[in-house]
Amino acid sequence: MRSVMNVNQTFIMCKPDAVERGLVGEIITRIERKGLRILRMDLRVPDRPLAEAHYEEHADKPFYGELVDFLTRGPVVALVVEGPEDQTFHLMRTLIGKTQVAEAQPGSIRGDFATTTNENLVHGSDGHEAASREIALWFPS
């Protein structure tokens, strides 16, 4: 029996390109097959304030406007995923693959399905602090 102790949660999002390309099932299957647990799931079109807040750490980057345009162009699937304490972020980011698409290994989601860094299918929180902030932002209740 799997222990219910020592878990933590991360925020995952299937971005608009994943929904458009019909890859949501594939992505969720990979999360489930890995042994991580989906706690919450919601399909919605993020408005601009939500997308801007989500990526606020990149507000000073030249691609910020383009990134917000991309995230708001259609529905996304927002997820809360649970896994082993202190490993969940890392496990999910390994499943997702590296940010630079040319470095994303085959076997990872980006490595198998993405051809550009701008449209790279999935977001995953990069640590505890980001996960808490992002879960509160996307699932306030």
Ligand X SMILES: Nc1nc2c(ncn2[C@@H]2O[C@H](COP(=O)(O)OP(=O)(O)OP(=O)(O)O)[C@@H](O)[C@H]2O)c(=O)[nH]1
Q: Which of 63, 85, 86, 127 binds ligand X (CB under 6 A)?
A: 63
CB contact set of 57 (below 8 Å; sequence gap of 6+)? none
Closest CA to 9 of 140, 133, 95: 133
CB 96 within 8 A of CB 124: yes
Residues 34-53 that bind ligand X (CB under 6 A): none
Q: Which of 20, 32, 42, 66 binds ligand X (CB under 6 A)?
A: 66
Q: Per CB under 6 A, does 116 bind ligand X? A: no
Question: Where are the alpha helices (H) located in 72-127, listed in sequence order?
Answer: 88-96, 109-113
Q: In whole angstroms, how close is the CB of 117 to ligand X at the nearest point? A: 5
Report, as residue numbers or ranges, the catalytic residues: 123
Binding positions for ligand X, rule: CB under 6 A: 58, 63, 66-67, 99, 117-118, 120, 123-124, 126
